[in-house]
Amino acid sequence: MTQPSPVHPPQDLVEQLGLDARATGRRRWRWIAADAAAVTLVLAVTLALRGRGGAVPWQTEPARRGALTVTVSATGTLEPTNEVEVGSELSGVVRSVEATYNQRIAKGQVLARIDTTKLEAQAAQYRAALAAAEAKVAEARATVEEDRLALERLERVRERSGGKVPAQSDLDAATAALARARATLASAEASVAQSRATLQATLVDMGKAVVRSPVDGVILVRSIEPGQTVAATLEAPVLFTVAEDLRRMELRVDVDEADVGRVKAGQQARFTVDAFPDRTFAARVAQVRLGATTTSGVVTYKAVLAVDNDDLALFPGMTAAAEIVVEHDADALLVPAAALRFEPPRAAAAAAPATGGSFLQRLMPHPPPRAAKEPAAPAGGPRVWVLRGGAPVAVPVTIGSSDGQVTRITGGELAAGAEVVIAAAGGAP
């Protein structure tokens, strides 16, 4: 009897069903390698998370001693200390102009002349009228003298005749004639005074035809040309603008009402102008005016700053940006202004770095950190956070002035050199 031969399944089917011992061994080692890689990855992530949670990096800056300068900013315009507008009280045609822009002039120097032809004719007319009035005065005086002598003769005749002649009516007529002559003389004398005053007024107007500088200075503006007609009907037209001394100028700035209480006469200041952006000019507060100016609901006060302009680099009308020094401390305890605004997360402030221990200890779970008790600080009072032992600790302080970048510490337990926290790493101060 023939024995049936054994049936062997295909090799690939054996491997798929895991019946082959060699294939089974290889698959087992693959699983072991995959498990080891997964464990390594978990350990790496765990260690990284442990490290990040244990040590929070902080941005710090040391408290330091240094100079603090507090300023008030304001803008304004440079003006001459004394600016004079030279006008004309006389109407007429400009005959000549004898000064021009930027010319240095002296007090009394002729700047322009207005034609006086009409005035000269009027002056001649008034001189003639004065002469006629004076002639009338002489005639009236002669008449007075004549009537006086006639009255005296009548009075002597009446005295010698014992009152018989002349008649009383003749005496009365002679007396009245003398009175009329005297009145005529007074009128003639008044006419002389009037004619003389009219002539004098014309001569004064002729003097006004010559425009002179009232001060020593420099011509800033010239508003006339030869041949131009000047009409001084309601007000004197401005012909020239003269700056008395450009070596001494004023910077008139507008100070906000919130800052004006700190600005005082005598304080030092500095300013810049667009013409010289790399140069800083010195100034001094000369006056703070009490009158307020309101523009679009904003109230400002005018402060006048005295400026030395010996090199004549500054021109009238330049716009300037000024900083007035309202406070200066050469040795102040300073911290960044950002330190007073900083507040750390409570959990970060409470947790100290936990990077020590063995490898296995770092893998073990840890209890959640307990909230640290914050240092005592005045309710609502300012404080800064100082880095101690890797964690921020609140330190109450008393603050003074600030320039926006640093703040002066006037009291508290903060010492120079302490590392003051201004932000968490990666955060904005």
Residue type, 131: A
Per-residue pLDDT reduced to its tens digit, 376-412: 444 558 999 999 888 899 999 999 999 889 999 999 9
What pLDDT is recorded for position 99? 96
Q: Is the pLDDT reported for residue 127 higher than 90? A: yes
Q: Which among 74, 63, 72, 71 is positioned nearest to 328, based on CA atoms?
A: 71
Q: Which helix (H) or strand (E) holds 122?
A: helix 117-160
Per-residue pLDDT reduced to its tens digit, 86-103: 999 999 999 999 999 999
What is the distance between the alpha carbons of residues 75 and 299, in angstroms, rounded to a whole number? Answer: 14
CB-CB contact of 72 with 285 (8 Å): no
Q: Which residues fall within 8 angstroms of residue 86, CB to CB, at 6 or more apart?
A: 111, 211, 213, 214, 238, 239, 240, 241, 242
The distance from CA 392 to its chain's CA centroid, rounded to whole angstroms, is 43
- Using 50, 70 and 90 to split pLDDT, how confident is the model at 371? very low
Per-residue pLDDT reduced to its tens digit, 52-69: 444 558 899 999 999 999
Per-residue pLDDT reduced to its tens digit, 137-179: 999 999 999 999 999 999 999 889 888 888 889 999 999 999 9
Is the dihedral angle over the CA atoms 186, 189, 195, 197 positive or is it negative? Answer: negative
What is the distance between the alpha carbons of residues 386 and 97, in angstroms, rounded to a whole number? Answer: 76
> Cα-Cα-Cα-Cα dihedral of 147, 153, 157, 160, to 10°?
140
pLDDT, mean of residues 120-124: 95
Question: Burial code of 373-404, b = ≥16 C-beta within 10 A, e = fewer?
Answer: eeeeeeeeebbbbbeeeebbbbbbbebbbeee
Q: Is the pLDDT reported for residue 20 higher than 80? A: no
pTM of the model: 0.63
pLDDT, mean of residues 329-347: 87
Q: Reduced to 3 states, what is the DSSP secondary structure of residue 310?
A: coil
Residue type, 125: Q
